[in-house]
Structure 1
Amino acid sequence: MTVRLTLVCAAAPVGREVRFGDVSLDERSLRQVRTAAGSPQPTGTPCVAPSQRCRQTALALGWGEVAVEPALRDLDLGCWRGRTPEELAAEDPAAFMAWMTDPEAAPHGGESVRDLCRRVTAWMDALADDAGRVHAVVEQAVVRAAVLGVLAAPPQSFWSVDVPPLSTVEFTGRAGRWHVRMGGIPQQEVGDGP
């Protein structure tokens, strides 16, 4: 049987500076989630990463009961949690640059990009062959790690995968082999042209 895994990237707070770590969504962000067109409605019990942002996104999507999946947690940023990238780059540019360029680096005392990629790939490979459709709301880093794992891309490519908030990526898998499935053209755009 083919497993169809859909990862939905969690919403992001609107208009706030980027800070590492979990933040709650504001009302404006939640409205954007509720009006998101084409949001997948899962069958069975969908899962979410343990962050507040992921749980709020799933609730705003109308997913109802969800299972929290610890293996889908965000990249552990250790002592950098709560800080902005700008603060870190100004305070210790060498450590920040090492983290951005070396997938083995974890100068923050947390998890390296390579470790995150291994964790996410292991979770995907552990899905039962009869799992059917699996939906999960996760952080951007988890989507990036899943894409790299399926494509067998080097972890150095991690920062080259752009994952906008509320975007979805679908993976299909059977017998330990995974494929990335790109979305189709929305029906209202077919035939539109100059």
Structure 2
Amino acid sequence: MTSRLLLVPPAIGPALREARFYDGSSSIDGPVRVTAADLPEAARVVLSPGARCRDTAEALGLRGAEATDLAPLDAGRWQGRTLAEVAATEGKAVARWLADPEYPAPGGESVRAVCTRVARWLESLPEGRTVAVVEPEVVRAAVVHALGLPVEAFWRLDVAPLTATELSGRSGRWNLRLGRPLGGE
């Protein structure tokens, strides 16, 4: 049987709008115009830990458990600061972090580490449909793994708030469905 995964990044909020390294506390703005009725029926719902995924799931009318393997990329001491603020004081470190998937954020983790963590979770996904309200970097990591892309492609994938990225597969072979709006067939 096939595993089906619908990845939904959170609604827009201050941290996303300000390009702020997420610290788990910032939430979302205003109402969400999509509901659970607009999503396919799922056997399970999982969430990235943090307020904006929890609040997005609640706004969608979804109840799910947080999965630690779906946590956002740990930006270490940069958490809570904007990319511009960090670049102004640690420009070389930011440039290296963005260019080298092996280089961890100071006190945090590397892009490769988050990709490995998410790949491990993806390969353990049970049969049936799962809806996952997850941070944009989790969507990137899942797509990198599913398509067998080089980890260097991670930052080249744009993930818009409240969109659907669908993966389906079995036995380590995944397919990606692009372009379906939330609530559409």
The alignment's TM-score, normalised by the length of structure 2, stands at: 0.89
Measure, in 1, the Cα distance between the counterparts of 2:9 and 2:163: 5
Q: Secondary structure at the match of 1:179?
A: strand
CA deviation profile, 1:129-158 (whole Å, cap 9, x unmatched): xx2001110000000001111111111111
Q: Which residue of 1 aligns with 2:95?
A: 97
CA contact (8 A) 2:47 2:132 kept: yes
Q: Which residue of 1 aligns with 2:120?
A: 122
Aligned residues: 180
Q: Which residue of 2 aligns with 1:153?
A: 149
CA deviation profile, 1:144-183 (whole Å, cap 9, x unmatched): 0011111111111111100001111000011221111224
Give % identity: 43
CA contact (8 A) 1:30 1:57 kept: no
Q: Which amino acid is 1:10 matched to?
A: P
Cα offset, 1:16, TM superposition? 4.9
Cα offset, 1:11, TM superposition? 1.3
Q: 1:83 to 1:124 in 2, by over 3 A?
A: same
Cα offset, 1:116, TM superposition? 0.5
- Within-5 A mapping of 1:30-69: 30-31=30-31, 33=32, 35-36=33-34, 39-63=38-62, 65-69=63-67
Q: Which runs of 4+ in 1 moved over 3 A?
A: 36-39, 183-186
Measure, in 1, the Cα distance between the counterparts of 2:44 and 2:11: 20
Q: Which amino acid is 1:49 matched to?
A: S
Instruction: Tell whether 2:16 aligns with 1:20.
Output: no
CA contact (8 A) 2:163 2:181 kept: no
Q: 1:100 to 1:184 in 2, by over 3 A?
A: closer
Larger radius of gyration: 1
Measure, in 1, the Cα distance between the counterparts of 2:82 and 2:76: 13
Q: 1:30 to 1:58 in 2, by over 3 A?
A: farther
